[in-house]
Amino acid sequence: MNYWLMKSEPAVFSFQDLMKMSPKGEIWDGVRNYQARNFMREMKTGDRVLFYHSNTSPPGIAGIAEVIGEVQPDPTQFDPSSKYYDPKSSRDEPRWIAVRVRAAQELSRTVSLHELKTITELESMPLVRKGNRLSVMPVSAKHAQIIMDLAATVA
């Protein structure tokens, strides 16, 4: 079982929104970055996802989600009415993929980016590095555990 981090703007889709979708979860589509896509390809059922709220105040880890089902072609790439439509993609050779996730664990509090930046052991996390814009990234089991332990403590 591997850990990942995925970013979402809570004004668009929040962890609370995902919880409302239980137990079916929601398809995570619209990823249009090759590096992020390549990470998604490695996702397996049961993998855990740190659900990160971006573009909000404060940004931070809002909950834990879980990958369910296999990685699949992102249906929005074939839909001309979707803002994620990609005319260069084809059903024979889909360019983009999506994955279904569901809420797995509610955290007792959000762990803010600011707080993560104060933890020495998390210095090597891409997330806390300046200028990082990747929306999907792997997280080591050790880092994931540190973050979940943090969430269980009082801020």
Partner DNA sequence: GCCAACGTTGGC
Calculate the dihedral angle through the C-alpha atoms of 129, 134, 102, 143, rounding to the nearest 10 degrees: -30
DSSP per residue, 28-64: E-----HHHHHHHHT--TT-EEEEEE-SSSS-EEEEE
The pair of structure tokens assigned to 119 is 């933890």
Residue choice 14, 16, 33, 89 for contact with DNA (CB under 7 A): 33
- Among the listed ranges 74-82, 94-102, 113-121, 142-150, the one in contact with DNA (CB under 7 A) is 113-121
Burial of 68 (0-12, 13-18, 19+ CB in 10 A): middle
Q: Is 59 in the site for DNA (CB under 7 A)?
A: yes
Q: Is 27 in the site for DNA (CB under 7 A)?
A: no
- Least distance between DNA and beta carbon 51 (Å): 13
Q: Is 34 in the site for DNA (CB under 7 A)?
A: yes
Residue choice 20, 57, 81, 153 for contact with DNA (CB under 7 A): 57
Tell me which amino acid residue 139 is.
Answer: V
- Least distance between DNA and beta carbon 136 (Å): 9
Which residues make up the interface to DNA (CB under 7 A)? Answer: 7, 9, 33-35, 54-57, 59, 113-114, 117, 130-135
